[in-house]
């Protein structure tokens, strides 16, 4: 009798299990099917990042009060001023060659270096801080071959001119000067085109910019023009009219 009960229990268990499986395979016709849709985040381009001048960066450092942010080419702040230092969006070779492969992407020209409260970051074009600098992440820069300058400043009788180094031999022959000495000061800006460099010049105690043919690019109306990498990095000049407040202008003397 005991064996019969055991067999009966096993039979009932098998029957219940088979009915359960059948229910799972055949859902009720009245049950609505749920469709799972994948949601893809679409990043919309910022309409304020307009291209007015194709030779200029999309975002330009600009100071407001005591802090720097970034404006678009139409002068609208895209990244609000909150940084002590803000440079052009440009490659950072230390990050590009980082021993940490995960941070190398932050060394590309899609990001810019800023500093706030003595801490340096890389930010993207929306202003988001995507990376905080760490000494351990910095690699060694692989410098490109230096482009030898074709021209150099030459001082004669207290005035500055420009000579072409490869052909100049006799200062007594005025025809050998590219620009005969006539300025208070000249400085050839670092740039990619060594055959047509921009030259910061001073005349009558005011600063402007000329080319190697002595053509005035920026009129002599500034108290100072910084001799930095602004032309190489952004094709812009950092200028001031009062000796204190600096801002950027392009080669057409347009203010940003």
Are 218 and 199 within 8 A, CB to CB?
Answer: no
For the beta sheet containing 129-132, the strands, ordered from the edge strand earlier in sequence to the opposite edge, are: 85-86, 112-116, 119-123, 129-132
Averaged pLDDT for residues 142-159 = 90
Structure tokens at 140: 């060694």
pLDDT-based confidence at residue 148 (cuts at 50, 70, 90): confident
Q: Strands, DSSP E only, in the chain?
A: 60-64, 67-71, 77-83, 85-86, 112-116, 119-123, 129-132, 151-156, 159-164, 177-183, 185-188, 199-203, 206-210, 216-222, 224-225, 237-240, 246-249
| Arithmetic mean of pLDDT, 211-222 | 98
**DSSP, res 105:** G
Share of the chain above pLDDT 90, in %: 77
C-beta separation of 223 from 241 below 8 A: yes
Distance in Å from the first CA to the final CA of the chain: 100
List C-alpha distances in Å: 219 to 42, 196, 216, 239, 243: 46, 18, 6, 12, 16
pLDDT score of 145: 77
- Summarised one tens digit per residue, pLDDT across range 109-122 is 999 999 999 999 99
Cα dihedral 48/49/52/55 (nearest 10): 160
Q: What pLDDT, on the 0 to 100 scale, is given for residue 45?
A: 66
3-state secondary structure of 189: coil
pLDDT averaged over the chain?
86
The pLDDT value given to residue 180: 98
Phi and psi for 151 in degrees, rounded to 5?
-120, 160
pLDDT tens-digit series, residues 23-58: 333 444 444 444 444 444 444 668 778 899 999 999
DSSP secondary-structure letter at 13? H
- How confident is residue 163, by pLDDT bands cut at 50, 70 and 90? very high
**Structure tokens belonging to residue 43:** 């990043």
> What's residue 144's pLDDT?
77
Determine the Cα–Cα distance for residues 251 and 18; give it in Å rounded to an integer.
Answer: 83
Max distance between CA atoms of the chain, in angstroms, equals: 132
Distance separating alpha carbons of residues 170 and 172, to the nearest angstrom: 5
């Amino acid at each position: 009798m005991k064996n019969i009960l055991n067999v009966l229990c096993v039979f009932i268990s098998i029957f219940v299990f088979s009915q359960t499986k059948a229910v799972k395979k055949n859902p009720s016709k009245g049950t609505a099917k749920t469709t799972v849709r994948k949601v893809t985040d679409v990043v919309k381009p910022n309409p304020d990042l307009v291209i007015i001048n194709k030779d200029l960066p999309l975002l330009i450092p600009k100071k407001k009060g005591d802090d720097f942010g970034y404006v678009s080419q139409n002068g609208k702040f895209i990244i609000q001023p909150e940084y002590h230092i803000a440079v052009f969006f440009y490659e950072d070779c230390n990050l590009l060659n980082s021993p940490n492969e995960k941070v190398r992407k932050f060394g590309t020209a899609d990001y810019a270096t800023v500093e706030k409260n003595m801490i340096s970051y890389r930010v993207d074009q929306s202003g988001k801080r995507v990376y905080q600098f760490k000494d351990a992440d910095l690699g060694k820069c692989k410098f490109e071959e230096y482009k030898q300058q074709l021209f150099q400043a030459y001082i004669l009788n207290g005035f500055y001119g420009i000579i072409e180094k490869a052909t100049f031999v006799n200062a007594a022959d005025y025809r050998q000067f590219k620009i005969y000495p006539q300025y208070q000061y000249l400085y050839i800006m670092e740039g990619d085109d060594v055959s047509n460099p921009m030259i910061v010049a001073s005349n009558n105690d005011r600063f402007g910019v000329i080319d190697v043919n002595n053509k005035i690019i920026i009129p002599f109306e500034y108290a100072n023009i910084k001799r930095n990498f602004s032309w190489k990095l952004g094709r812009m000049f950092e200028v001031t009219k009062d000796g204190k407040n600096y801002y950027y202008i392009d080669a057409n003397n347009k203010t940003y």
